[in-house]
């Protein structure tokens, strides 16, 4: 007689559990079909699935619109926060970093002047 590996024991255990569940389900299936709470649960699952389908359709439309807006205005992302405020992320970070480095070369750094110039340039 062969000793089973832990992987084989796990597979065997899963198969046995699956079969036990099938037998137990068949024993109570007719009772479940008549049960008032089970019928409510079935109805609720159907409603939830319909709502999820609608939510997924809305998410898909949302993603399409976000992509259109991103491409139209050359921005990284646009969203509306929980506070109903529009949030936008722009594409300038690499250039901004480079400008800060270039502005700092061979000059005494005036932070306020640097900030004002770069805000004016990128806004």
Q: Are 101 and 107 in contact (CB under 8 A)?
A: no
**Per-residue pLDDT band at 91 (split at 50, 70, 90):** confident
Does the pTM surpass 0.75? The reply is no
Would you state the torsion angle of the CA atoms of residues 50, 30, 40, 18, taken in this order, to the nearest 10 degrees?
A: -60
Q: What is the pLDDT of residue 102?
A: 80
**Per-residue pLDDT band at 123 (split at 50, 70, 90):** confident
User: Per-residue pLDDT for 108 more than 80?
Assistant: no
What's the rounded mean pLDDT across residues 65-82?
Answer: 89
Q: Are 69 and 75 in contact (CB under 8 A)?
A: yes
Tokens found for residue 89: 């992320």
Q: What is the pLDDT of residue 100?
A: 82
User: Per-residue pLDDT for 122 more than 80?
Assistant: no
Q: What is the pLDDT of residue 10?
A: 94
Q: What is the pLDDT of residue 99?
A: 82
Residue 6 CA, chain-centre distance (Å), reads 36
């Amino acid at each position: 007689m062969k000793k089973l590996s832990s992987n084989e024991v796990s597979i065997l255990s899963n198969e046995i559990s699956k079969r036990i569940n099938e037998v137990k389900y068949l024993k109570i299936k007719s009772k479940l079909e008549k049960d008032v709470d089970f019928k409510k649960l079935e109805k609720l699952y159907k409603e939830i699935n319909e709502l999820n389908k609608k939510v997924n359709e809305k998410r898909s439309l949302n993603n399409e619109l976000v992509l259109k807006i991103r491409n139209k205005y050359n921005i990284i992302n646009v969203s509306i926060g929980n506070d109903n405020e529009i949030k936008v992320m722009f594409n300038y970070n690499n250039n901004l970093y480079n400008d800060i480095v270039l502005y700092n070369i061979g000059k005494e750094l005036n932070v306020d002047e640097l900030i004002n110039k770069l805000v004016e340039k990128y806004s």
